[in-house]
Chains A and B, each alone.
Chain A
Amino acid sequence: MKPELEPLNRREFFGVVAKSAAILGLTSAAEAKGAAQGTANPFAYDISRFQKTDPKLITYEQVTRWPIPHKDAKRLAIGPDDRLYVCADKYINSLSRTGQLGMELTLSGPASCVAVAADGTIFAGLRDHIEVFDAKGVRTARWESPDPKTWFTGLAVGAQDVFAADSVKLVVLRHDRTGKIVGRIGRKDDARNVPGFVVPSPFLDVIIHRDGLLRVNNPGRHQVEAYTFDGDFEAAWGKPTIATEGFCGCCNPIALTMLPDGRIITCEKGIPRVKVYDASGEFESVVAGAESFPENAHACTDLNDCIHGGIDAAVDSEGRIYILDIVTSEVRVMKRKG
């Protein structure tokens, strides 16, 4: 038997060196491959356990889904006869409940929000101004920009008022139906106990609740706030948590809508999810969780920051919920289970 510590000859030495080099090379290649595939990142930001919704909390099911005609979608709204209005790029398209295309309006620039009055008048929010169309799609007015920095991201129409949420100036403007600004709502005001909107990314929304008050999201405070039309702060609810019952991330919710009975639907980004709260803010259930929007969740992880993700929702007269996925440019129609 050969002694263990016998000196190597030249051939054996080169053989051992070659084998060692091969092993080192393979190890390095595997390490590089593993790292490249993201399987070996010791610094991974792991929120995977929050991206799966407890099935018991999901009370809605998808009826159908259909694409919208243009990319770069932003918001959607329900008009008379439950027609759906979607703004994307510089267009507003009306669609039937089954996704059949109706008229198309061309705006002077990219749209950022839309609302439709009971009489069919269409209000399109562009970045810094509002354009008005009659029910047949004829442009009737252009309301001039209130401020060069204005960035409208939410609109709500009442019988006599049009409310426009400005995510840069941190205010909801109250207009009359001619476009005249008659009030400013939500500016920080200690004397009136108004906390002030905190909007890190451009998602400020406003809806008119059936109780006669406005609801405005305050994403940086992770709250939904109630205001009178005159700007008095009435109430707020919501808490920051990545758990399902709260609002996740730095700044959520990003959009609001309302069921016919007054319950409130909220939309979140980062972990894209749509949820139902009762009018007082108690969490009730999930309409669709992050597992329903894989591409949308992906949008906030890789190449883009999260202002390019996001979802919106609208509700028809029968309580069906239309969810706009702005990443995939499609609408999902949800109805309550059972």
Chain B
Amino acid sequence: MDAKPHEPLSRRQFLRNGARLMTMTGLGAAAGVLSTRSTGAAWVWQIDPAKCLHCGNCATKCVLEQSAVKCVHTYAVCGYCQLCTGFFAPEPNELTTAAENQLCPTAAIKRTYVEDPYYQYSIDEQLCIGCAKCVEGCNRFGNGSLFLQIRHDRCLNCNECAISRTCPGDAFRRVPVEHPYLLKTTSR
């Protein structure tokens, strides 16, 4: 018997089929996420600090309202500088914590006196937006102890990370969930 020729779909049929397809796709995606969350993702996104160009994209390209990328600090590499170029603007009026002297647009770096002439710098991740301005300042003059990392308590682990698509340094890559961070270590 000859096969019945396909009849053109009506608009109503087309929309109904489309809705069915979308529903199935959505369920599939949800199932995928659930399966990932329930079993633990094997791979997560992370930034290779050796490739990061401090371009600012991490602050603006993340799908989250406040980026999952934060500045982190390896204290073993830090010089505890009095004039920290990650903390102070390039030409500060004076070396105090007054807002006009600070480099960070959200004042997310806390400066604490240790002993003459050393100061400790710590990141308030609630305020940090991952803009990398401090990272650039620290790398340009200092030891590079400030760098960016994706914080996995915030990251949604998107299948295709929105920041990675625009990263000019190709610094985003998948890492095993057992080792989710790429931390700098001391060279001294």
Contact = CB atoms under 8 A, between A and B. Distances in A.
A binds B: yes
Interface of A: 10, 32, 35-38, 41-47, 50, 151, 168, 198-202, 220-222, 240-243, 248-252, 269-270, 300-307
B133 A50 contact: no
A38 B133 contact: no
Contacts of A36: 55, 57, 166-168
A308 to B, nearest CB: 9
B83 A43 contact: no
Contacts of A240: 83, 95
Given A250-B84, A303-B50, A44 B56 contact: yes
A300 B61 contact: no
A300 B140 contact: yes
A306 B141 contact: yes
B117 A200 contact: no
Contacts of A270: 85, 140-141
A330 to B, nearest CB: 22
Contacts of A201: 79, 142-143
A305 B95 CA distance: 23
B29 interface: no
B166 A45 contact: no
A305 B142 CA distance: 7
Contact of B90 (A32, A50, A199, A252): A50
Contacts of A46: 90
Q: Is the interface of A mostly helix, strand, loop or mixed?
A: loop
B51 interface: yes
A45 B140 CA distance: 10
A198 B117 contact: yes
A41 B83 contact: no
B133 to A, nearest CB: 5
B101 interface: no
B90 A45 contact: yes
A248 to B, nearest CB: 7
B168 A37 contact: yes
Given A37-B168, A269-B141, A306-B144, A43 B85 contact: no
A129 B55 CA distance: 41
Contacts of A151: 188
B81 interface: yes
A238 to B, nearest CB: 12
Contact of A243 (B53, B91, B133): B91
B89 to A, nearest CB: 9
11 contacts: A43-B105, A47-B90, A47-B140, A168-B188, A221-B117, A249-B85, A249-B141, A250-B85, A270-B85, A300-B141, A305-B139
Given A220-B117, A222-B83, A303 B51 contact: yes
A302 B53 contact: yes
B56 A304 contact: no
B54 A45 contact: yes
B84 to A, nearest CB: 6
A251 B103 contact: no
Nearest to B105: A43
A43 B132 contact: yes
A231 to B, nearest CB: 20
B143 A45 contact: no
